[in-house]
Amino acid sequence: MSRIGKQIIKIPEGVEIKVSENTLTAKGKKGELNLDLHPVIKLAIKNSQIKVSVDNPQQKASRSLWGTYRALIANLIEGVTEGFSKKLEFSGVGYRVNLSGQKMVLELGFSHPIEYTLPEGIEGKVEKNTITISGIDKVKVGQVAAEIRSFRKPEPYKGKGIKYEDEIIRRKAGKVVKTSEG
């Protein structure tokens, strides 16, 4: 039995859930998201609650899909009601980020600026040294944040680069010069 898969998902007020063949559609105040369901996944919707189950809970593949799809459906509902966001911090001499519309220009110490276009459904905001990526799709938000971070990962000596807000960078000591006494 899947511990996560067994948990019931509550549907908040204002969220509309439709299941047609192998597709689940969630519509809320922030927008609409779709999820393609695997054939072994079964949904039971009663009293504004969703119960996820599988055909054969004894099969290992079915059990793993059970918990995964329960989490995906819960993320879908949270996305259309509240949305998701990730914060990135950049630090370094001369590091700048400008945002105009969906186009982000990052100056990260290279000989050229990096131009990055935010995908549809993703919003960006830049304040001082913080970039906020937000949207209704958790996977897209995480992917965009990871792509922006990959342009200049934080380095362990001075801590320069782009890091997640809650990320801890383990710092290393620099070179130690030995002095000769004589």
Is residue 100 domain-shared with residue 155, that is, in the same domain? yes
Question: Does a structural domain hold residue 88?
Answer: yes
Question: In this structure, are residues 100 and 118 in contact, taking their beta carbons and an 8 Å threshold?
Answer: no
DSSP 95-160: -EEEEETTEEEEE-SSSSPEEEEPPTTEEEEEETTEEEEEES-HHHHHHHHHHHHHTSPPPTTT--
Is residue 53 domain-shared with residue 23, that is, in the same domain? yes
Q: How many domains does the chain have?
A: 2
- Pick the last residue of a domain from 81, 106, 141: 81
Rounded to an integer, what distance in angstroms lies between the CA atom of residue 28 and that of residue 13? 9
Is residue 71 domain-shared with residue 115, that is, in the same domain? no
Please give the chain's pLDDT, 182 residues, in tens. Answer: 678 888 999 999 999 999 998 899 999 999 999 999 999 999 999 999 999 999 888 888 888 899 999 999 999 999 999 999 999 999 999 999 999 999 999 999 999 999 999 999 999 999 999 999 999 999 999 999 999 999 999 999 998 999 999 999 999 988 888 887 75
What domain range includes position 41? 3-81
- Pick the last residue of a domain from 81, 113, 130: 81
Question: CB under 8 Å to 142, separation ≥6 — which residues?
Answer: 84, 86
